[in-house]
């Protein structure tokens, strides 16, 4: 694969095209284990994209779907400004409450315009994805050997809440990386798949991230259903997943974390329904934060309460006895969709849903001409949905936002390229 990528890289006639492919290739390789890896590459992307935005003259014409998609990102940034300003934020508070992260959504526009000019972008990204699992595994092995204890999970460069979910994301997307680079010409590589899967599952398991467990388990089933060829293939694949999941569940730390989550979930709904219900666990506090969002939504339904304002606004409902007091420690909703709803209102949530699922709609309309892109884009949407259930890093953390934006740009531009190619 490395040789193939070098050939792909060498085939680019322009130095600028080589530079863009190199950035795309490097992006997914070491983000969870090298501090500032993704954000640094994203900054380089941004400067490169802004330069070519004003200097490139012979750009491909945008189609209607691309214009809609780009307007969605622009409006998502605008609703952030409207929400914060209408809630009385000073310029200093706007800057402190995520202006830099929100600007990334605006920068998506020039980045997309840059990436769509290179038809090999997806191959470069998936080459990086294939390398990311071994890189993260060997770093995790080092961390496990020197630092891990039953009370000290693998954290990578930041936290287990980033390391585990991103590794699950990469492991799931690596299936399409294999299809992109090897297809049916290297079937012998399937023999190496168990070892490759082991590397990913090792990091996921010892990160102790339950959202990573959920993502890899349900994401695998979704991937199988999207690739379903016949009933026999599906049943065998499901059986293999269940055997693997059962084996991983025997690891004490995985079993303990999973069992504790299920007990906390059950306790939350079986205990008293008033504001004193049990919220002494991470699962309980998340559920209570999601429940409490209804009060905030009723207060500011259209444009929300602004980024970072959850602890301030929720105090009133805690004092009224409607919300359990420990929830104030959360700081945010820890759910991408709920966070968008309370911080940016229903308008912000609708725009976020467009960012996540508009590519799926376009791919579904053209699935006969672009079947591989349809299943790839749909799998990506499914995975980021699973990642969004227990965390909101895809909209409020620079590294998470970078993953969302770079992958969205590459996959949507590749989808449009495949559709245009088959129509000719």
The three state secondary structure string of 211-226 is: HHHHHHHHHHHHHHHH
- Identify the three-state secondary structure at position 70: helix
Query: Mean pLDDT across the stretch 370-390?
Result: 92
305 lies in a domain?
Answer: yes
Q: Which residue has the higher pLDDT, 237 or 42?
A: 42
Other beta carbons within 10 angstroms of residue 197's beta carbon come to 17
* CB distance 82 to 102 below 8 Å: no
Task: Kindly state the average pLDDT of the residues 207-227.
Answer: 93
394 and 288 fall within a common domain: no
- Name the band, by pLDDT with cuts 50, 70 and 90, for residue 167: very high
pLDDT for the residue numbered 134: 95
Q: What is the mean pLDDT of residues 336-357?
A: 96
Kindly state the average pLDDT of the residues 319-325. Answer: 87
Is the domain of 17 the same as that of 157? yes
Contact 383, 129 (CB under 8 A): no
Residue 78 lies in a domain: no
240 and 277 part of one domain: no
Q: Does 231 lie in the same domain as 157?
A: yes
What span, in angstroms and rounded, lies between the C-alpha atoms of 350 and 113?
23
Q: Are 209 and 159 found together in one domain?
A: yes
Of 288, 313, 329, the one marking the end of a domain is 329
Q: Do residues 166 and 310 share a domain? A: no
Concatenating the DSSP letter of every residue in 337-378 gives HHHHHHHHHHHHHHHHHHHHHHHHHHHHHTTTT-HHHHHHHH
Proportion of the chain above pLDDT 90, given as a percent: 58
What would the mean pLDDT of 251-278 be, rounded to a whole number? 79
Task: Determine the pLDDT at residue 232.
Answer: 81
Share of the chain above pLDDT 70, in %: 93
pLDDT of residue 231: 81
DSSP 143-187: HHHHT-BTTB---TTS-HHHHHHHHHHHHHHHHHHHHHHTTTTTG
- pTM to 2 decimal places: 0.92
Contacts of 279 (CB under 8 A, 6+ apart): 268, 285, 287, 288, 324, 326, 327
Of 4-18, 54-68, 319-333, the poorest mean pLDDT is in: 4-18
Q: 9-18, 122-131, 267-276: which has the minimum mean pLDDT?
A: 267-276
Are residues 226 and 134 located together in one domain of the fold? Answer: yes
C-alpha to C-alpha distance for 172 and 355, rounded to whole angstroms: 20
Structure-block tokens of residue 28: 């997914």
Q: Give the DSSP letter of residue 327.
A: G
Given a cut of 60, whether residue 276 has pLDDT beyond it is no
pLDDT at 20 over 80: yes
pLDDT of residue 183: 60
Residue 11: predicted pLDDT? 73
* 195 plus 285 within the same structural domain: no
Please indicate, yes or no, if residue 79 is contained in any of the structural domains. Answer: no
pLDDT score of 180 more than 80: no
In a domain, 207, yes or no: yes
Residue 261 inside a domain? The answer is: no
Average confidence (pLDDT) over 312-340: 88
Calculate mean pLDDT across residues 166-187. 80
pLDDT band at 7 (very low <50, low <70, confident <90, very high): low
Q: Which residues pair with 155 in a beta bridge?
A: none
Are residue 319 and residue 362 in the same domain, yes or no? no
pLDDT confidence tier of residue 5, bands split at 50, 70 and 90: low
Q: How far apart are CA 39 and CA 403, in angstroms?
A: 9
Domain total of the chain: 2
Q: What is the mean pLDDT of residues 291-312?
A: 91
The whole-number average pLDDT for the span 280-291 is 86
Band of residue 371 on the pLDDT scale cut at 50, 70, 90: confident
27-66, pLDDT tens digit by residue? 999 999 999 999 999 999 999 999 998 887 777 889 999 9
Max intra-chain CA distance, the chain: 67
Give me the residue label for tokens 């609708």. Answer: 350
Domain that holds residue 239: 2-57+89-246+356-423
Averaged pLDDT score across all residues of the chain: 89
- Shared domain for 315 and 374, answered yes or no, is no
Residue 4, pLDDT score: 65
The pLDDT of residue 91 is above 60: yes
**Domain-located, residue 402:** yes
User: Same structural domain for residues 21 and 147?
Assistant: yes
| Selected residue with higher pLDDT from 272 and 146 | 146
Residue 241 lies in a domain: yes
> Which helix (H) or strand (E) is 81 found in, with range?
helix 64-86
Residue 193: the pLDDT is 85
262: in domain: no
Pick the more confident residue, 16 or 122: 122
Evaluate if residue 200 carries a pLDDT over 80: yes
Q: Is the pLDDT of residue 15 over 90?
A: no
């Amino acid at each position: 694969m490395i040789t193939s990528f070098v050939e792909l890289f060498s085939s680019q006639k322009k130095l600028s095209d080589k530079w863009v492919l190199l950035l795309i290739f490097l992006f997914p390789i070491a983000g969870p284990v090298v501090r500032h890896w993704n954000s640094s590459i994203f900054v380089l992307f941004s400067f490169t994209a802004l330069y070519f935005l004003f200097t490139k003259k012979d750009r491909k014409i945008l189609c209607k779907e691309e214009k809609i998609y780009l307007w969605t990102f622009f409006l998502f940034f605008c609703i952030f400004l409207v929400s914060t300003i209408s809630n009385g934020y000073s310029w200093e508070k706007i800057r402190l409450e995520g202006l830099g992260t929100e600007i990334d959504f605006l920068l998506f526009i020039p980045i997309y315009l840059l990436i769509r000019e290179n038809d090999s972008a997806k191959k470069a990204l998936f080459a990086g994805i294939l390398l990311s699992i071994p890189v993260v595994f060997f770093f995790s092995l080092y961390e496990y050997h020197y630092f891990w204890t039953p009370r000290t999970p693998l954290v990578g460069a930041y936290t287990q809440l980033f390391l585990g979910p991103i590794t699950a994301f990469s492991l799931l997307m690596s299936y399409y990386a294999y299809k992109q680079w090897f297809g049916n010409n290297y079937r012998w590589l399937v023999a190496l798949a168990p070892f490759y899967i082991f590397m990913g599952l090792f990091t996921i398991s010892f990160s102790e991230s339950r959202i990573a467990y959920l993502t890899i388990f349900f994401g695998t089933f979704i991937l199988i259903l999207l690739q379903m060829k016949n009933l026999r293939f599906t049943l065998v694949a499901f059986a293999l997943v269940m055997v693997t999941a059962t084996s991983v569940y025997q690891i004490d730390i995985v079993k303990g974390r999973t069992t504790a989550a299920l007990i906390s979930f059950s306790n939350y709904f079986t205990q008293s329904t008033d504001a004193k219900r049990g919220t002494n666990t991470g699962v309980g506090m998340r559920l209570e934060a999601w429940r409490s969002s209804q009060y905030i939504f009723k207060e500011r339904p259209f444009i929300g309460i602004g980024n970072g304002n959850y602890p301030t606004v929720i105090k009133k409902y805690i004092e009224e006895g409607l919300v359990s007091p420990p929830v104030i420690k959360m700081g945010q909703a820890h759910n991408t969709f709920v966070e968008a709803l309370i911080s940016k209102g229903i308008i912000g949530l609708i725009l976020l849903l467009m960012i996540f699922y508009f590519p799926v709609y376009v791919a579904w309309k053209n699935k006969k001409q672009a079947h591989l892109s349809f299943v790839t884009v749909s799998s990506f949407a499914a995975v980021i949905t699973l990642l969004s259930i227990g965390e909101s890093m895809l909209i409020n953390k620079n590294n998470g936002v970078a993953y969302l934006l770079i992958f969205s740009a590459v996959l949507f531009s590749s989808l449009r390229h495949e559709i245009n190619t088959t129509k000719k």
